[in-house]
Amino acid sequence: MEIIGKVKKLFESQKFDSGFRKREIVITTEEPYPQNILIEFIQDKVDLLENIRPKDKIKVFINIRGREWTNPEGVIKYFNSIQGWKIEDYSPGSSKKTSAISPSLSSDDFDDLPF
């Protein structure tokens, strides 16, 4: 899947004691009812955001992930996340591209999540 839009916000990189890295970005879509979409980049994919700036028009290739979690009271909750794995500049006439080689993430990528 992919999302095209302008970068609204770039958050700072986060690094956890476990070595897990994460950085989030908000993309505003350009459609009749624009949406602000939060996309996270994890581990080595964080590096894809090094040259991205607010107001850049980009295409982000994404995977949608879901998790099940049981809270201390035994109640099961479900969480979704949108994870980016490749970015392309989508400005007219631009040839700049930033991409990742591997589009797939394995379940091992989630073993270091901080929750």
Q: Looking at residues 72-100, what average pLDDT do you find?
A: 83
In this structure, what token pair is assigned to residue 60?
């982000």
Residue 83 has pLDDT above 70, yes or no: yes
In this structure, what token pair is assigned to residue 93?
């006439």
With contact defined as beta carbons under 8 Å apart, do 69 and 76 qualify?
yes
Share of residues in the chain with pLDDT > 90 (%): 77
The one-letter amino acid code at 5 reads G
Q: Determine the pLDDT at residue 100.
A: 46
Please report the DSSP string for 20-88 in residue order. Answer: -EEEEEEEEE-SSS--EEEEEEEGGGGGGGTT--TT-EEEEEEEEEEEEEE-TTS-EEEEEEEEEEEEE
Tens of pLDDT, residue by residue over 49-74, are: 999 999 999 999 999 999 999 999 99
In this structure, what token pair is assigned to residue 105?
């993430």
Q: Determine the pLDDT at residue 92.
A: 75
Tens of pLDDT, residue by residue over 36-49, are: 999 999 999 999 99
Contacts 24+ apart (CB under 8 A), 99-102: 99/48, 100/44, 100/45, 100/48
Q: Determine the pLDDT at residue 66.
A: 97
Q: Determine the pLDDT at residue 95.
A: 57
The residues that bridge with 51 in the sheet, in sequence order, are none
Q: What are phi and psi of 7, to 5 degrees?
A: -70, 120
